[in-house]
């Protein structure tokens, strides 16, 4: 009972945050970022149904997102022409249904095996659809894509969704609904068996389940939600192009889910938020943001195989034991030189990339031609790196201390 | 005719004949052990019965159904379950989930994505009962992959028996266990297979003679004897082919 109340309040909190965000950040830029986040959250969660929960590594998940999005834009055009008549709030569902249909068709043969075979088929299908999008111009609109207008159709309680903010509230509701249903899916027999098939497809067959059928169901559900995300994208941008179903988009959703943490339901949400922020904010400051994203991904794979969500969950034991506070100072001792090292490294990277002779960085003007500047930053970077390395031991000790019960020390 | 009947079962892998005409009739409620030297084809025989491999020729009948061409999940749904020689569990799921998944099909959930399993109700109670039976109740929320070896073997058994199958096949259930672990495991096997039909492959002769009503000796893909334990012990062909060899190794 207590557990279910805690769970319900968690969901209520999630809804509240979604609805309250524009009250605190109401600039045009933040609303546009929130809309991107909403789309990314649904898309990344749907990807996690494949990889995190079902053990299917897909390199072509954008296909379902993009196809859903294309059909959504075409539906907007139909609404505009007066051929069909319904409120645009249902457009994400149109995208979802098309994503589902595509997944039923492609999943019928691609889910036969997991592992490399599945990954290669997903890659092939992704390339195939991306290539077709430039061939079947009447549906995909060639390189320019297709565009629509979301302000036609019947008003929804007087709202015509001309403003991005109105779209945000619509997106927030869809994100909430989609998150709830994707979570509930994990609690059903099909969702639990998806985990079982991920862990051990052979054994799953000996408890009565066809691994292929179990994968197929997850695959279809995943296609449905990817399509919903695509439909939301169509509503938000009112246009869609081949870029939204190609390998780059497929790669981005993989990064989101992975960096966020595949093993946890909340992981892809974290990943979607972090990557959208990086994408929108960092790209304003540096042309090299993709490089930083790549480094972040590498570091995550190497040092945080369970992603950001895993990093947070690692602290559960210390939190429950009330020893979390003991970690604060050790984290600072390691964190400060590590932060300086990162800043100095970025300075060197940006300085070697800058077009001008002078690079303004953190209130300092660095000269590209000045060897003194280079030596200075290099020296700081090396010193900070060594200090970070030296401080790791105390962090390890503090970690042991915070995670060991008083009684365990003898062992 | 018994619950499981094998008639002239052959299995070739390429040119190599692994199972060379096995016929066997297992009675309902029987505890049957299959013994034989390494490479005799015991595990292959298990794989043929449980649907992992297809027979080359011959028929296998389980409860009046011909199962030699069925997939593992079809065979499993008929009420035939098995464990594996190498621990074969759902390593990243917790112990409770492992057992609950093994209960899903027999509880009639099939591929449902419209039922929520929750934490209450019949299937969850039943999963806890099984955990209690196999002595892992206090490990319910523990990741299965991090259990100790003997506990993983117990879980392996729990997954096999959870669905209430009538015929249980155990492939070397106590291999790799210490003496005391093995004796606990034998007690456990006896408890969970009470009233069921059991077929097991096992190398430990004490356990075989202790548990089995009937023993079949498989040597190079053929059953050379199938009889009560005391007769098997006395059989000269068996002693020559198998027991003698074990004796000299021991």
- Per the structure block, which two tokens stand in for A196? 């079982």
Within 8 A of A206 by CB-CB distance, chain B residues are: 50, 72-73, 76, 81-82
Q: Are residues A241 and A386 in the same domain?
A: no
Q: How many CB atoms lie within 10 A of CB B107?
A: 19
Query: Nearest Cα to A37, choosing from A259, A235, A233, A265?
Result: A233
- pLDDT tier, A387 (very low <50, low <70, confident <90, very high otherwise): very high
- When the pLDDT of each residue in chain A is averaged and rounded to a whole number, the result is 92
CATH number, domain containing residue A64:
1.10.3470
Q: How many CB atoms lie within 10 A of CB A133?
A: 26
Q: In angstroms, how far is CA A1 from the centroid of its own chain?
A: 32
Interface test with A, best of B72, B91, B155 (most A CBs within 10 A): B72
Q: Are residues A277 and A345 in the same domain?
A: no
Q: In chain A, pLDDT over 70 holds for what percent of residues? A: 98
Q: Are residues A132 and A153 in the same domain?
A: yes
Cβ of B78 under 8 Å from any chain A Cβ?
no
Which pLDDT score is estimated for B27? Answer: 95
Within 8 A of B115 by CB-CB distance, chain A residues are: 188-189
Residue of A nearest to B169 (CA): A206
- What's the whole-model pTM score? 0.92
- With CB atoms and an 8 Å threshold, state whether A214 touches B82: no
Is the pLDDT reported for residue B107 higher than 50? Answer: yes
Mean pLDDT calculated for residue range B184-188? 93
> How many residues are recorded in chain A?
411
> Which residues are bridge partners to A250 per DSSP?
none
Which pLDDT score is estimated for B247? Answer: 45
Q: Cα–Cα–Cα angle for A310, A313, A316, nearest 5°?
A: 160
Q: Are residues A359 and A278 in the same domain?
A: no
Residue of B nearest to A207 (CA): B102
Q: In chain B, pLDDT over 90 holds for what percent of residues? A: 82
pLDDT tens by residue, B19-70:
999 999 999 999 999 999 888 999 999 999 999 999 999 999 999 999 999 9
Nearest-Cα distance to chain A for B200, in Å, is: 16
pLDDT tens by residue, A154-175:
888 888 888 889 999 999 999 9
Mean pLDDT calculated for residue range A122-145? 93
Which pLDDT score is estimated for A318? Answer: 86
Which residue has tokens 């979570």? A183
Asked if this assembly's ipTM is beyond 0.95, the reply is no
Which pLDDT score is estimated for B132? Answer: 95
Which pLDDT score is estimated for A409? Answer: 45
Is the pLDDT reported for residue B245 higher than 70? Answer: no
Mean pLDDT calculated for residue range A75-83? 93
Nearest to B115 among A188, A195, A217 (CB): A188
Mean pLDDT calculated for residue range A209-220? 98
pLDDT tens by residue, A44-72:
999 999 999 999 999 999 999 999 999 99
- pLDDT tier, A283 (very low <50, low <70, confident <90, very high otherwise): confident
Nearest to A191 among B110, B113, B159 (CB): B113
Q: Are residues A164 and A276 in the same domain?
A: yes
Interface test with A, best of B92, B96, B101 (most A CBs within 10 A): B101
Query: Is the model more confident about A33 or about B239?
Result: A33
Q: Which of A271, A304, A337 lies at the terminal end of a domain, its last residue?
A: A304
pLDDT tens by residue, B109-162:
999 999 999 888 899 999 999 999 999 999 999 999 999 999 999 999 999 999
Which pLDDT score is estimated for B238? Answer: 83
Cβ of A32 under 8 Å from any chain B Cβ?
no
Which pLDDT score is estimated for A1? Answer: 59
Q: Are residues A299 and A372 in the same domain?
A: no
Give chain A's domain count: 2
Q: Are residues A219 and A324 in the same domain?
A: no
Q: How far apart are CA A6 and CA A75, in angstroms?
A: 40
Q: Are residues A158 and A246 in the same domain?
A: yes
Which pLDDT score is estimated for A92? Answer: 97
Range of lowest pLDDT (A173-182, A366-375, B163-172):
A366-375
Which pLDDT score is estimated for A410? Answer: 42
Domain residues for the domain of A323 are 316-410
Q: How far apart are CA B191 and CA B157, in angstroms?
A: 11
Which pLDDT score is estimated for A355? Answer: 79
Q: Does residue A1 form part of some domain?
A: no
Which pLDDT score is estimated for A139? Answer: 92
Query: Is the model more confident about A325 or about A38?
Result: A38
Judge contact between B9 and B137, C-beta under 8 A.
Answer: no
Nearest-Cα distance to chain B for A55, in Å, is: 12
Supply the DSSP string of A220-278, one letter for each residue. Answer: HHHHHHHHHHHHHHHHHHSEE-GGGGSHHHHHHHHHHHHHH-TTSTTHHHHHHHHHHHI
Q: Are residues A342 and A198 in the same domain?
A: no
Q: Which of A304, A338, A363 lies at the terminal end of a domain, its last residue?
A: A304
Mean pLDDT calculated for residue range A356-380? 85
Which pLDDT score is estimated for B249? Answer: 42
Q: Are residues A52 and A168 in the same domain?
A: yes
Question: Cα-atom radius of gyration of chain A, to the nearest Å?
Answer: 24
> Which residues are bridge partners to A136 per DSSP?
none
Which pLDDT score is estimated for A408? Answer: 52
Q: How far apart are CA B136 and CA B149, in angstroms?
A: 13
- With CB atoms and an 8 Å threshold, state whether A206 touches B113: no
Nearest-Cα distance to chain A for B120, in Å, is: 11
- pLDDT tier, A284 (very low <50, low <70, confident <90, very high otherwise): confident
Which pLDDT score is estimated for A366? Answer: 83
A 184-213 residues inside an 8 A Cβ radius of B: 184-185, 187-193, 195-196, 198-200, 202-210, 213
Mean pLDDT calculated for residue range B87-103? 96
Q: Which of A277, A304, A331 lies at the terminal end of a domain, its last residue?
A: A304
The backbone torsions φ and ψ at residue A49, rounded to the nearest 5 degrees and listed phi first, read -60, -35
Nearest-Cα distance to chain B for A317, in Å, is: 14
Q: Are residues A37 and A185 in the same domain?
A: yes
The CATH number of the structural domain formed by B4-249 is: 3.40.50.300
B 16-55 residues inside an 8 A Cβ radius of A: 50, 52
Q: Are residues A289 and A383 in the same domain?
A: no
Which pLDDT score is estimated for A3? Answer: 74
Q: Does residue A7 form part of some domain?
A: no
Query: Nearest Cα to A335, choosing from A377, A376, A391?
Result: A391
Mean pLDDT calculated for residue range A272-295? 89
Range of lowest pLDDT (A296-300, A317-321, A380-384, B12-16):
A317-321
């Amino acid at each position: 009972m207590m557990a279910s109340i805690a769970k319900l309040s968690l969901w209520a909190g999630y809804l509240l945050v979604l609805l309250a965000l524009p009250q605190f950040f109401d600039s045009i830029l933040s609303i546009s970022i929130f809309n991107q986040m909403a789309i990314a959250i649904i898309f990344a969660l749907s990807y996690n149904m494949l990889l995190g929960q079902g053990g299917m590594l897909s390199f072509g998940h954008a296909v379902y997102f993009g196809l859903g999005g294309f059909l959504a834009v075409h539906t907007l055009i139909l609404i505009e022409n007066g051929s069909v008549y319904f409120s645009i709030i249902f457009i994400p569902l149109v995208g979802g249904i098309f994503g589902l249909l595509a997944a039923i068709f492609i999943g019928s043969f691609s889910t036969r095996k997991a592992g490399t075979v599945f990954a290669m088929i997903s890659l092939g299908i992704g390339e195939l659809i991306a290539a077709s999008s430039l061939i079947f111009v009447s549906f995909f609109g060639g390189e320019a894509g297709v565009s629509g207008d979301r302000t036609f159709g019947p008003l929804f309680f007087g709202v015509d969704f001309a403003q991005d903010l109105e779209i945000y509230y619509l997106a927030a509701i869809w994100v909430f609904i989609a998150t709830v249903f994707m979570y509930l899916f994990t609690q059903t027999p099909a969702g639990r068996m998806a985990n079982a098939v991920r862990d051990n497809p052979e054994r799953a067959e000996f408890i009565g389940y066809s691994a292929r059928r179990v994968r197929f169901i997850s695959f279809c559900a995943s296609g449905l939600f990817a399509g919903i995300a695509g439909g939301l994208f169509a509503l938000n941008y009112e246009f869609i192009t081949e870029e939204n179903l190609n390998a780059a988009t497929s790669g981005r959703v993989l990064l989101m889910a992975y960096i966020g943490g595949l093993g946890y339901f909340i992981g892809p949400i974290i990943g979607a938020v972090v990557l959208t922020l990086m994408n929108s904010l960092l790209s304003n400051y540096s042309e090299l943001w993709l490089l930083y994203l790549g480094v972040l991904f590498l570091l995550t794979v190497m040092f945080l195989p369970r992603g950001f969500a895993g990093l947070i969950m690692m602290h559960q034991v210390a939190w429950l034991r009330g020893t979390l506070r003991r970690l604060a100072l050790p984290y600072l001792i390691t964190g400060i030189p590590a932060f300086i090292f990162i800043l100095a490294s970025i300075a060197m990277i940006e300085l070697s990339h800058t077009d001008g002779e002078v690079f303004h960085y953190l209130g300092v003007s660095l000269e590209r031609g000045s060897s003194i500047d280079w030596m200075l930053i290099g020296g700081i970077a090396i010193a900070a790196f060594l200090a970070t390395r030296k401080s790791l031991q105390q962090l390890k000790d503090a970690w042991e201390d915070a995670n060991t019960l008083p009684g365990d020390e003898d062992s | 005719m018994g619950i499981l009947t094998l008639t002239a079962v052959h299995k070739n892998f390429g040119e190599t004949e692994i199972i060379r005409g096995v016929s066997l009739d297992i009675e309902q409620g029987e505890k049957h052990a299959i013994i034989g030297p390494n490479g005799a084809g015991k595990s292959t025989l298990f794989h043929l019965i449980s649907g992992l491999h297809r027979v080359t020729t011959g028929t296998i009948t389980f409860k009046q159904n011909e199962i030699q061409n069925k997939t593992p999940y079809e065979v499993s749904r008929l009420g035939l379950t098995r464990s594996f020689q190498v621990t074969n569990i759902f390593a990243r799921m917790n112990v409770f989930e492992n057992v609950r998944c093994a209960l899903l099909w027999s509880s009639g959930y099939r591929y449902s994505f419209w039922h929520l399993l929750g934490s209450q109700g019949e299937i969850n109670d039943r999963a806890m009962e099984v955990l209690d039976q196999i002595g892992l109740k206090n490990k319910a929320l523990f990741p299965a992959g991090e259990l100790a070896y003997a506990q993983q073997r117990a879980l392996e058994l729990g997954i096999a028996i959870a669905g209430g199958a009538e015929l249980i096949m155990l492939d070397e259930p106590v291999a790799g266990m210490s003496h005391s672990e093995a004796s606990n495991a034998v007690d456990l096997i006896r408890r969970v297979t009470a009233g069921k039909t059991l077929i097991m492959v096992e190398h430990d002769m004490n356990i075989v003679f202790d548990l089995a009503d009937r023993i079949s000796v498989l040597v190079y893909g053929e059953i050379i004897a199938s009889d009560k334990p005391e007769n098997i012990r006395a059989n000269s062909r068996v002693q020559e082919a198998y027991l003698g060899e074990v004796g000299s190794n021991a």
